[in-house]
A and B are shown apart, each in its own frame.
Chain A
């Protein structure tokens, strides 16, 4: 399977923060969720992929082309956390602008999304709700037949109904096995619903990049009392959340001691407990 994005030996330093990715491959035809806390390096990674920042070293290819080439972005659609068009623009103005940018701009596809999202053509963006703005950004990102969709916190601040509507569009988009989505989000539940793979980034380093189902089978949440906790091998504990009565432990499934009650770990549990564990080190 070809890769939509390949990253090799990427380094980018801002003061005391360094984004350091030795190798990352995002295969075509999948939804890759990018998770991590604020300042973990998610946006820096996305900016590096889009060549918005000067990296210190490393190579990145997008759809098989160096990300330094403007043409590598011809088949890429990008949605940021905020709409990036002037507030006085209307949807018609957005179309006029992007039609002059993308070679494969498709007016009919644009019209289809505008109708599907029930967006007015002549209303200024400043009068749009947040959900409408995001839908407009999405229509703008999809109307030129991209193969890769990059979403940087695109669903944050949007109500669940619109988020669900947008997730449906992602799932429709991914039906084509040539299509790929890289989505960074704080809303883990969205990624749990849609993502095929999850990359967890913390302090500028990739902690893991795994298939979502494998990941969720790999870890278990173990609930135990203080006495039981004392009997668990400390090396087997990946993460720990303590309370008055005992603790919740994040453990690898095959390390859960016999007789202990365990439950499936969600991505959020895995992420939070690993971050807490890292912070304690």
Chain B
């Protein structure tokens, strides 16, 4: 399984540079808004975008060169093939979380307002759920069809979020805050509330992630390569 993870990580080098540059840009953007807790939230959202690109990027490379067929001819079980992909996703989520932590630390040292709990939770939980939905779709329908299905799956919630944001904006009083700052306010909650939210949301996302893994294994085992 080590080899499968290595293969995915080596393949991701191609997109890593682009994603790295984007993250540096958003970090810079955060530094431009030092006194705004929402400043670093953009950086966190960018980390979320990077994380969720992993399954499609990896599967895209595999499909392009026919790796699926070759990978299954290696002495690895189909379970291991699927699990290694999920592990790669977790590794990238872990790495991006460390980058967010480091970014916030530097931000705080320089006198800025860190993003707070929401800044760490949003990319982790969002990525876990997004990847949990995407991976089985990719295994079932392949990369090309998945792009369309994923767009459709996420268009509805995105429109809902946009709608809610518009309601916020329309009913705005002089004291109201933009939606992004509402997320940032989670960081102002009591330590107990934060801990509860962290445990609850992360555990929920982890359960969805685990269920997705089982579903992907089931789909992959029935797949003709």
Is B98 interfacial (CB 8 A cutoff)? no
Q: Are A87 and B3 in contact (CB under 8 A)?
A: no
Is A280 interfacial (CB 8 A cutoff)? no
Bound Cα distance A98, B75 (Å): 10
Q: What residues of chain A lie closer than 8 Å to B64, measured between beta carbons?
A: 86-87
Which one of B5, B11, B67, B222 contacts A84 once the chains associate, using CB atoms below 8 Å?
B67
Residues A85 and B69 in contact in the complex (CB < 8 Å), given A73-B74, A73-B75, A101-B75: no
Is B207 interfacial (CB 8 A cutoff)? no
Q: Are A54 and B224 in contact (CB under 8 A)?
A: yes
Min CB gap B82→A, angstroms = 13
Q: What residues of chain B lie closer than 8 Å to A80, measured between beta carbons?
A: 66, 69-70
Within 1-58 of B, Cβ neighbours of A (below 8 Å) are at: 1-7, 10-11, 13-14
Count of chain A to chain B residue pairs whose CB atoms are closer than 8 Å in the complex: 88
Q: What residues of chain A lie closer than 8 Å to B11, measured between beta carbons?
A: 86, 88-89
Q: What residues of chain A lie closer than 8 Å to B61, measured between beta carbons?
A: 86, 88
Is A99 interfacial (CB 8 A cutoff)? yes
Which one of A50, A54, A82 contacts B73 once the chains associate, using CB atoms below 8 Å?
A50
Residues A100 and B69 in contact in the complex (CB < 8 Å), given A73-B75, A88-B11: no
Q: Are B75 and A78 in contact (CB under 8 A)?
A: no
Is B77 interfacial (CB 8 A cutoff)? yes
Q: Are B67 and A86 in contact (CB under 8 A)?
A: yes
Bound Cα distance A72, B3 (Å): 18
Is B156 interfacial (CB 8 A cutoff)? no
Bound Cα distance A89, B3 (Å): 14
Is A253 interfacial (CB 8 A cutoff)? no
Q: Are A53 and B224 in contact (CB under 8 A)?
A: yes
Min CB gap A56→B, angstroms = 12
Is A9 interfacial (CB 8 A cutoff)? no
Q: Are A97 and B69 in contact (CB under 8 A)?
A: no
Q: What residues of chain A lie closer than 8 Å to B66, measured between beta carbons?
A: 80, 82, 84
Bound Cα distance A73, B81 (Å): 14
Bound Cα distance A64, B197 (Å): 54
Q: Are A97 and B10 in contact (CB under 8 A)?
A: yes
Min CB gap A122→B, angstroms = 13
Which one of B72, B76, B80 contacts A52 once the chains associate, using CB atoms below 8 Å?
B72
Q: What residues of chain A lie closer than 8 Å to B77, measured between beta carbons?
A: 70
Q: Which residue of B lies closest to A144 (CB)?
A: B75
Residues A74 and B75 in contact in the complex (CB < 8 Å), given A80-B69, A85-B65: yes
Residue-wise, chain B 61-93 has the 8 Å CB interface mask toward A (1 for contact) of 110111101111111110010000000000000
Q: What residues of chain A lie closer than 8 Å to B67, measured between beta carbons?
A: 84-86
Min CB gap A152→B, angstroms = 10
Within 190-225 of B, Cβ neighbours of A (below 8 Å) are at: 222, 224-225
Min CB gap A2→B, angstroms = 20
Q: What residues of chain B lie closer than 8 Å to A73, measured between beta carbons?
A: 73-75
Q: What residues of chain A lie closer than 8 Å to B74, measured between beta carbons?
A: 73, 98, 101-102
A-B contacts, 8 of them at CB < 8 A, read A52-B225, A84-B66, A85-B65, A96-B10, A97-B3, A98-B3, A101-B4, A101-B76
Given contacts A84-B70, A86-B67, 19 further A-B contacts (CB under 8 A): A47-B225, A51-B72, A53-B224, A72-B75, A76-B75, A80-B70, A83-B65, A84-B69, A84-B71, A87-B64, A87-B65, A88-B13, A96-B3, A96-B6, A96-B10, A99-B3, A101-B2, A101-B74, A102-B74
